Amino acid sequence: MIRFAGAAITLTILIGSFAFAQDSTPKVQVYGGYALVHSPTGGLSDTMLDENLHQRSDAFGLASNFNGWNAEGQYNVSPWIGIAADFGGRTGSQITGKSGISGMPSQNAYSFLGGPVLSYRTNSKFTPFAHVLAGWDRTSLSASTITGPSAPVPVTATNYTGFAVALGGGVDYKIIPHFALRLGQVDYYHTSLNLNKFYTSAFGGESFTGLATRQRNIRVAVGAVFQF
């Protein structure tokens, strides 16, 4: 009898927990917030830039962090499984100019990804989740003329679109009904930007070789989640 009672209580708790999760599960979630993408240089160096663009030995520098935004629409087919459409954008040129260099081109990138989301929903206000997203990432470099102590360097407007994958997850914290904060989301963000083609197209000639054709980026995001 004690074993039966224990089993019955356990079953009741599990059913109640599942029912609670069903009742409290939003059908649709909309998320938006700030994103920081850390992107490796892919073998590009300031020395390579100085030599290939015929500038002085300390003309150029490199940056690896890009500020941007991340937005997402998610439809939950069950308390635990959802389907998400993910949009992102970031800005900040990887090539920077040091003292005496001006006219640096601006760089922007946009992404569209989609895929399944697995969420762990309980009666807690915290909802951890994991997702696998795949799609496309498009990087653009604006046209400009870089001026410095040596001859001006013309830059041709350049675009490159490649396959992208985001593997990661995060935690949402419910503040009030229908509103939560995404306390943190971290993704391994893989892109397939061919840097050889990208920079050769931008600067002309056959200057850039041996650079990466894929990037292992890290994307970190925080923001607000609206639930319906």
Per-residue pLDDT of the chain (228 residues; tens, 9 = 90+): 444 334 433 443 344 444 434 447 899 999 999 999 999 999 999 999 888 888 877 889 999 999 999 999 999 999 999 999 999 999 999 999 888 889 999 999 999 999 999 999 988 899 999 999 999 999 999 999 999 778 899 999 999 999 999 999 999 999 999 999 999 999 999 999 999 999 999 998 777 999 999 999 999 999 999 999
37 in a structural domain: yes
Query: What CATH number did the domain enclosing 205 receive?
Result: 2.40.160.20
Task: Round to the nearest angstrom and report the end-to-end CA distance of the chain.
Answer: 44
62 in a structural domain: yes
218 in a structural domain: yes
96 in a structural domain: yes
Distances (CA, A) of 44 to 103, 178, 199, 213: 20, 46, 10, 12
Place of tokens 């590009």: 44
205 in a structural domain: yes
165 in a structural domain: yes
- For 113, the token pair is 């990804």
Domain containing residue 82 = 27-227
136 in a structural domain: yes
1 in a structural domain: no
Number of domains in the chain: 1
Determine the pLDDT at residue 99.
80
Beta bridge partners of 161: 138
DSSP notation for 8-71: HHHHHHHHHHHHHHHHH--SEEEEEEEEEEE---TT--HHHHHHHTT--TTSEEE--EEEEEEE
